[in-house]
Structure 1
């Protein structure tokens, strides 16, 4: 891991920096990370302090479904993995076109994936807090690292695009078959509860350390398989956007049509294989992927086609250093800084205003930290 300073113009996040950057991609990545770094608290605070119905509805959407089902917040994580896939054809594809060695690129992909796994372990456990037996090894960064790594390796070594589509379908269908047909001792086949599902059983057998929910880990080993499909779906979108023989308008149409198709198939599949983020079910891949495609379509249309860019700067600053801000909260007390800067001013206002102001101040401190790095051209490269 290294910092990229003023001598570099192309930062990277969970993958190599694209040679030709789409501003919509950086803005959407920042929009996604905004909610991860605390933006959802705006609606929770409003709902708690005002009782407004619309705020309560949005606050509910910014919580995870307890098991089966889908809410807006369930799309945040897969959208980030999807976007890592979108940038792959611009980064690896451009290097392949220049004649870079495929095996060398593969080694970089694997190294990057393993570094993210390691960072995820550190993020979960700290550096010196636990024994190896008590550590949690599954993580959000680990899922991005492993699923993104395998999706990129497929991109590197499976050159036929139709073959990649076939692998995508095979991944989703095989995971469905395994989860519904392979029996779990004491529960039988097709049990999709937290206690009896195959993914949790395999993770209890194979994963070291502790699982996030004792008997189940939402970022476990076996459910990484369908997450590769999420990365591949992003690669398909990026491959489309990189093509030069299709008009921008046609690209937009294909993104929207594919997004609607994924949503439709995903919700139909939900009837027999429930949409479930914890299990990262095949239907969840399609529903989250469908929304990811539609959101990407919107950002692509507004920013890259209509050229309405000024509003996106706020999110671009976040998107250019999204991995950094995800990790920084573990070593920088942004909440204390926000309290120090704004508590005196906010003390003159009512409780609802103070609560909302505290959240906005917290987000402002984080954004200003990222803006400082952006102006200095310092970006985290993994």
Structure 2
């Protein structure tokens, strides 16, 4: 892991340096990270302090579905993995065109993937603070590392789009078949519950330490198989956006993204009747539903920012998106809440409780944004 300026010659795979950089990619990544960084608390606090119907609806959307089902907040994680895939043709493809060998790129891809796994373990547990039996090895960063790594290797060694789509279909169909046909001891085959799913059983059997839900982990090893498909879907979108204007101009690219998104939603929700949309299991139908919404959001950001050139509003999110890994892990070693109270606590004390509660959230977000803005102005970006 290293800090670098935008003048660095080596683009990152998970968060690339500006190689034909599209502002919409950083803006959408930043929009996604904004909610992870605490933006969802705005709606939760509004719902708690006002009780307004629309705030209750939005607050509910910014919680995870307990098991089966899909809410807006369930798209946050897969959107980030999808965006890592979108960046791949710009980062890896450009280096292939410059003559960098596939073996060298593969080594870098694997190295970065494993570093993300290690960072995820540290993020969850600290450094040597817990015994192995109490250590949680699966993580959000670990899933991004492994799923992104395998998707990038597929992109690297299977340049033919048909081969890439074949991989995508095989991963989703294969995971479906495995989950539905292989019996779990004491449960049978195709039982997709917390205790009886094949994904949970495999993770309990092979992973050391503890699982997040004791008998199941939403970022477990087995369900990383379909998560590779999430990253591949992003790669397909990235290949489209990186293609030259002779094959498709920007309005056509936007249309293809929209059509792809709608198609994924129709197929995903239809598949969900027999293979439920479930983030915890990262089911194949979930890949398509989350991917469909991700494609539509990418189409919107791309059309507004890169096609229509309406970009001033996006700077707020771009600053976050260009340091997305940093903003994710910074809260583990920087007390942003204390800083927010230090700078804004006295001022907020003059207001009523509802305004103080909402103001505290906004102050917290402002301090976080000021931190990444400072890094942005200094041209320091954390890359893995």
In 2, Cα distance between equivalents of 1:288 and 1:6: 31
1:35 aligns with 2:35: yes
Unaligned stretches of 5+ in structure 1?
none
In 1, Cα distance between equivalents of 2:203 and 2:216: 7
Could you list the per-position Cα deviations for residues 16-38 of structure 1 after superposition, in whole angstroms to 9, with x for gaps in the alignment? 43511010000000000000000
What secondary structure does 2:188 align onto? Answer: coil
1:299 aligns with 2:296: no
1:163 aligns with 2:163: yes
In 2, Cα distance between equivalents of 1:59 and 1:31: 17
In 2, Cα distance between equivalents of 1:88 and 1:128: 33
After TM superposition, give the deviation of residue 5 of structure 1 in Å: 3.2
Alignment of 1:263-342 (within 5 A): 263-342=265-344
1:99 aligns with 2:96: no
Kept after mapping to 1: 8 A contact 2:278/2:286:
yes
How many residues align? The count is: 382
In 2, Cα distance between equivalents of 1:343 and 1:261: 48
What secondary structure does 1:329 align onto? Answer: helix
User: Cα–Cα, structure 1 residues 13 and 240, in superposed 2: closer, same or farther, change >3 Å?
Assistant: closer
In 2, Cα distance between equivalents of 1:365 and 1:55: 24
In 2, Cα distance between equivalents of 1:10 and 1:311: 29
What secondary structure does 1:195 align onto? Answer: coil
TM-score when scaled to structure 2? Answer: 0.98
User: Cα–Cα, structure 1 residues 279 and 296, in superposed 2: closer, same or farther, change >3 Å?
Assistant: same
In 2, Cα distance between equivalents of 1:280 and 1:7: 37
**Which aligned segments of 4 or more residues in structure 1 are displaced greater than 6 angstroms?**
none
* Residue aligning to 1:23: 23
What secondary structure does 2:63 align onto? Answer: coil
Kept after mapping to 2: 8 A contact 1:140/1:219:
yes
* Residue aligning to 2:351: 349
Alignment of 1:193-204 (within 5 A): 193-204=193-204
1:119 aligns with 2:119: yes
* Residue aligning to 2:190: 190
User: Cα–Cα, structure 1 residues 32 and 266, in superposed 2: closer, same or farther, change >3 Å?
Assistant: same
After TM superposition, give the deviation of residue 9 of structure 1 in Å: 8.2
Could you list the per-position Cα deviations for residues 318-359 of structure 1 after superposition, in whole angstroms to 9, with x for gaps in the alignment? 000010010100000000000111111001111110000000
Alignment of 1:49-68 (within 5 A): 49-68=49-68
Unaligned stretches of 5+ in structure 2?
none
Kept after mapping to 1: 8 A contact 2:11/2:19:
no
TM-score when scaled to structure 1? Answer: 0.98
In 2, Cα distance between equivalents of 1:160 and 1:128: 44
User: Cα–Cα, structure 1 residues 16 and 6, in superposed 2: closer, same or farther, change >3 Å?
Assistant: closer
In 2, Cα distance between equivalents of 1:87 and 1:322: 13
Could you list the per-position Cα deviations for residues 254-310 of structure 1 after superposition, in whole angstroms to 9, with x for gaps in the alignment? 100000000000000000000000000000000000000000000000000000010
What secondary structure does 2:343 align onto? Answer: helix
